[in-house]
Amino acid sequence: MSENTMPPKPEDMGEHLDEEIKETVQDWAENPEGSRFEDLDERIDEKLRRRIASWVGVEEDADWKTIGAKMDASTREAIGRWVGAEPDADWATISSRMEGRIRRGIARLVRAAPAQPAAETAQEADASWTDIGTKFERDVRGWIGEIVGAGEQADWKTIGDQLLDQVRAAFDKVARSTRKREEAEAPGQVTRIPIEGEEDRPPAVTDEKPVEPES
């Protein structure tokens, strides 16, 4: 494969195609006879089609449908090889293999096993998404159950009741502590403090009968 047909890195393809377009426009502008925009479109289409055709490995005069089919086949073969599918596998088979690969990876991560083990003569069974979800839920429930003191095998209702009791006990403890503090800070019995010189004050009125003034 020559340098011109060597496909660049995917991140560099856009830059190469931009250069192809610039060169085509410059050639068209320098040609006095090339004044039709339709002609410019055709030139750009042909230049890009030939370049991409050389990158994907088809004839340079191939049409876009042939180029697209080759690109699809190459991409499908590469992804199929990555997931362990046959070279001629279709997208449905590749998607199924990819889903199985991801599912097996997550199953190993959470240590999930199939609910029904395969027979001895059959192929080893894989954990389903239901098995993975059940294992994950059981692990989370056991972890929370240990934290709240309900036990690893407790169900969600038992965990919820235990957590509610702990919250209620904590609230009652705070309420009792607050009540004791308020009682300790309450004022005691009021004691009358005598004021100095109070005995020199005039006697208080003890009779409702008016007193006649002295003549």
CA angle 63, 68, 72 (to 5 degrees): 155
What does the alpha-carbon distance between residue 21 and residue 15 come to, in Å, rounded to a whole number? 10
Q: Decide if 117 contacts 125 (C-beta within 8 A).
A: yes
Q: Decide if 107 contacts 127 (C-beta within 8 A).
A: yes
Residue 157 lies in a domain: no
Per the rule left: phi > 0, alpha: psi between -120 and 50, beta: everything else, 40 is alpha
- The torsion defined by the Cα of 104, 109, 110 and 113, in degrees rounded to 10, comes to 40
The pLDDT, as a whole number, for residue 19 is: 87
The pLDDT, as a whole number, for residue 64 is: 93
The pLDDT, as a whole number, for residue 15 is: 86
- Which residues 6+ apart lie within 8 Å of 123 measured at CB? none
The pLDDT, as a whole number, for residue 120 is: 54
Residue 185 lies in a domain: no
The pLDDT, as a whole number, for residue 119 is: 57
Q: Over 113-147, what HEC string results?
A: CCCCCCCCCCCCCCCCHHHHHHHHHHHHHHHHHHH
Collect the ranges in the chain with pLDDT lower than 50.
Answer: 1-3, 121
Six-digit token string for 109: 């991560």
What does the alpha-carbon distance between residue 67 and residue 139 come to, in Å, rounded to a whole number? 51
Query: Structural domain tally of the chain?
Result: 1
Residue 116 lies in a domain: no
Residue 58 lies in a domain: yes
Residue 104 lies in a domain: no
The pLDDT, as a whole number, for residue 143 is: 92
The pLDDT, as a whole number, for residue 193 is: 61
Q: What is the DSSP code (8-state) at residue 122?
A: S
Six-digit token string for 180: 């004791």
Domain carrying residue 46: 1-66
Residue 186 lies in a domain: no
Residue 123 lies in a domain: no
Cβ burial, residue 85 (10 Å; 0-12/13-18/19+) = buried
Residue 168 lies in a domain: no
